[in-house]
């Protein structure tokens, strides 16, 4: 059986990130025919057009190839200063410069976790706007905004909140079904 391939990207580089933990929960909760691979964006340098003109960094090329090869993308984003974390926006900016446009027509689901009460609502909405410029297809429902994340994950980073676990499982199924419909 061919697996439906999802590339997951965490917008946080922190070792014990709730957003990375949410992606690991998604891996556990995915149906048997869905394989979620978590990408690491920590090696991507700050965007500099002089660097781009000299040649795309290997880390950018690798991320672009992984996005292109995936059937869909899942992003977990924190919220920094009411918006998208710089490392995530930087990675998107770099990928947007790849001539093949890896995000173009790519199905994308967004989730996010924060310790605050808004659960990354503002960063997710800003991220949706960024993907309009990429001509990507962002899944509208279900939205996953994990507020008070410190109460929903245990000390080992395991998602313990059953309602959130169910919502993530629903989002993965919805992403797969929607991406398959878009292919037709």
pLDDT at 119: 87
- Residue 150's Cβ-side half-sphere holds a number of Cα atoms within 13 Å equal to 3
Per-residue pLDDT of the chain (184 residues; tens, 9 = 90+): 589 999 999 999 999 999 999 999 999 999 999 999 999 999 999 999 999 999 999 999 999 999 999 999 999 999 999 999 999 999 999 999 999 999 999 999 999 999 999 889 999 999 999 999 999 999 999 999 999 999 999 999 999 999 999 999 999 999 999 999 998 7
pTM of model > 0.95:
yes
pLDDT at 184: 73
35 φ, ψ (degrees, to nearest 5):
-115, 120
CB 127, CB 77: distance < 8 Å:
yes
- Residue 182's Cβ-side half-sphere holds a number of Cα atoms within 13 Å equal to 17
Q: Can you give the three-state secondary structure of the chain, one letter per residue?
A: CCCEEEEEEECCCCCCCHHHHHHHHHHHHCCCCEEEEEECCCCCCCCCHHHHHHCCCHHHHHHHHHHHHCCEEEEECCCECCECCHHHHHHHHHHCCCCCCCCCCCEEEEEEECCCCCCCHHHHHHHHHHHHHCCCEECCCCCEEECCHHHCECCCCCECCHHHHHHHHHHHHHHHHHHHHHHC
pLDDT at 132: 97
pLDDT at 1: 56
Length of the chain: 184
pLDDT at 118: 87
pLDDT at 2: 83
pLDDT at 62: 98
Bridge partner list, 80? 83
Provide the percentage of residues in the chain whose pLDDT is more than 70. 99
Closest CA to 107 of 68, 136, 142, 144: 136
pLDDT at 107: 98
Q: Domains (ranges, CATH) in the chain?
A: 4-183 (3.40.50.360)
């Amino acid at each position: 059986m061919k697996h439906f391939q999802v590339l997951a990207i965490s917008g946080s580089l922190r070792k014990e990130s709730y957003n990375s933990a949410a992606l690991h929960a998604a891996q556990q909760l995915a149906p048997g025919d869905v394989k979620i691979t978590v990408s690491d964006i920590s090696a991507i340098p700050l965007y500099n057009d002089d660097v781009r003109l000299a040649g795309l960094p290997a880390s950018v090329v690798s991320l672009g190839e992984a996005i292109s090869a995936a059937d869909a993308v899942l992003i977990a984003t924190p919220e920094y200063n009411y918006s998208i974390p710089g490392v995530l926006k930087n990675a998107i900016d770099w990928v947007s410069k790849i001539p093949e446009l890896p995000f173009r027509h790519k199905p994308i689901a967004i989730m996010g976790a924060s310790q605050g009460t808004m659960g990354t609502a503002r960063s997710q909405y800003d991220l949706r706007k960024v993907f309009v410029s990429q001509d990507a297809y962002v899944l509208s429902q279900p939205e996953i905004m994990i507020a008070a994340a410190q109460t929903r994950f245990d000390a080992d980073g395991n998602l313990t909140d059953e309602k959130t676990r169910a919502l993530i499982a629903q989002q993965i199924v919805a992403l797969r079904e929607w991406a398959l419909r878009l292919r037709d």
